[in-house]
Amino acid sequence: MPGLVVAGAQWGDEGKGRFVDYLASSADMVIRFQGGNNAGHTVVSDNKEYKLHLIPSGILYENKPCLIGNGVVIDPKSLFEEIDSLNERGIKTDNLFVSLRAHLVMPYHILLDGLSEKNLGKSGIGTTQKGIGPCYTDKIARKGIRICDLINEKEFASLLKKNIDEKNQQIVSVYKEKPLDFDEIYEEYSKYASRLKKMAVDTSLMAYKYLEGNKKLLFEGAQGMLLDIDFGTYPYVTSSHPTTGGVYSGIGLGPKAISEVVGVVKSYTTRVGKGPFTTELFGGIGDVIREKGHEYGTTTGRPRRCGWLDLVIINYSKRVNGLTSIALSRMDTLGGIGDVKVCTAYDIDGTITKDYPATVVEIEKAKPIYETFAGWDENLSNIREYKDLPKEARRYIEFIEEYTGIPVDMIGVGPGREECIVRKAYFK
Ligand code: GDP
Ligand code: IMO
Ligand code: MG
């Protein structure tokens, strides 16, 4: 039963969307299993750029079902804006299905996300303010509203009432803001209900039937390893499991559904939002990489913090995700900047370690130990064969393979669908 996971191996924005788009050509179904519209996955096909937030990056292929699993939190306003904008551009979305069990992002989640961040000031998380954390909080607190609840009018009215009463207490007494109006939200979400009804199914069952038919399933992770609620740089994380473990509970399938895990690694490191970042470069080369690579957030437009590749993180990601393959993006961006560095260990209070620490306090103390490599100046964007890469770029890639013990099977040399070196046949 061939199932392939694409997981971000760093802090998100590694290029998952573009590799999912490539792999989707040989998959039968593409599935999102966690996160929400905090994600921003860019796909460039035929010189057209698509920024996907909730919809799986397989949507550009007709006749491949795309599922949004129960582990995803869905802001219906954002979902329908995305669907409408794709339809306007000639992309069909008839094959898009959402889980009946998926939780809904409600207006109070978005409001509370913003208020909480504002209240925390400097010590905030730097969230995307899409209501993701508050929505997952309600899910775990057993107060959430699911799609199956929304499409049952009575159930929805009663759940919404309970939630609005509770949230308004918080909004008014803690944050001193205006209370939310039940009728307004009820009316808005009732409109979404009629649209959602047509696309809401038991996605676990649908995926399982495909597996039983020996079809190829592609699981598209959002965010990345170090934003995982358990394994990331807590509390500077998102509220879901972007790691492989999230697939099982986020769509509802057993471990045999997965036969391969592709870790998407950017050839340097970026992070949006707050939290420790050991190899961060302040000014200088960091700014050069940001401008050369247009490293600004797909969802919020915030400048991405940039730094050198950190292989301690990639080995951590290998362990937690069970990586079997690496897709390395942006080798073109890393060229033309002189020597390049790779972090191979941390020095924490005089102790050398290759293991990623559990606490932010330790991570903040970590000093990166670097290996330096000669850079390359050639334009890589037309290269399609590994052997044609400059020898310095090959050395860089081989070092990643030696250190991690994982083959680098795909190499991005530009954002376009074709701008990629592929060294193995997936889904075999
Ligand atoms: P995702 O969230 O992991 O899907 O990544 P994003 O779409 O947020 O950010 C990745 C950015 O890098 C997008 O603008 C992509 O078009 C771009 N990109 C991906 N791979 C490559 C590559 O190999 N070279 C270049 N130049 N850009 C790339
Ligand atoms: P993709 O799928 C990069 C970050 C936010 C913030 C933290 C928590 O495009 O890789 P949240 O809104 O989730 O509560 O914010 O997580 N973050 C991302 N960073 N790429 C993403 O998604 C992200 N989704 C959330 O910037 O630091
Ligand atoms: Mg992104």
The secondary element (H helix, E strand) that includes residue 99 is strand 96-99
Whether 84 is a known active-site residue: answer no
Give the model confidence (pLDDT) of 219-251 as tens digits.
999 999 999 999 999 999 999 999 999 999 999
CA torsion sign, 222 to 226 to 231 to 237? negative
Q: What is the number of the ligand closest to the CA of 39?
A: 2
Q: Are 6 and 264 in contact (CB under 8 A)?
A: yes
Q: How far, in Å, is the centroid of ligand 2 from the Cα of 403?
A: 27
Q: Ligand 1 test: best mutation among 47, 290, 330, most atoms within 8 Å of CB?
A: 330
Query: Which residue among 21, 28, 41, 113 is the active-site one?
Result: 41
User: Which ranges of 233-386 does DSSP label H, i.e. alpha helix?
Assistant: 245-247, 285-292, 311-321, 331-334, 360-365
Q: How far apart are CA 218 and CA 321, in angstroms?
A: 15
The C-alpha atoms of residue 399 and residue 413 are separated, in whole angstroms, by 18
User: What are the two backbone dihedrals, phi and then psi, of residue 369, each rounded to the nearest 5 degrees?
Assistant: -105, 125
H helical segments located in 36-181: 76-88, 107-120, 132-140, 147-150, 153-169
* CB under 5 Å of ion ligand 3: residues: 13, 40, 298
Catalytic residue list contains 202: no
Cut 0.75: pTM above it: yes
Does any ligand 2 atom lie closer than 6 A to the CB of residue 127?
Answer: yes
Bridge-based pairing state of the strands 3-8 and 260-266: parallel
Residue keyed to tokens 């090959």 = 394
Cα distance between residue 97 and residue 424, in whole Å: 30
Ligand 3 centroid – CA 12 distance (Å): 6
pLDDT in tens, 313-369: 999 999 999 999 999 999 999 999 999 999 999 999 999 999 999 999 999 999 999
Please give the distance, rounded to the nearest whole angstrom, from the Cα atom of residue 45 to the centre of ligand 2: 24
- pLDDT (tens digit per residue) in 7-66: 999 999 999 999 999 999 999 999 999 999 999 999 999 999 999 999 999 999 998 999
- Residue 411's pLDDT band (boundaries 50, 70, 90)? very high
The two tokens of residue 9 are 């191996």
> Quick check: bond before 76 cis, omega within 30?
no
Alpha-carbon distance 29 to 114, whole Å?
A: 35
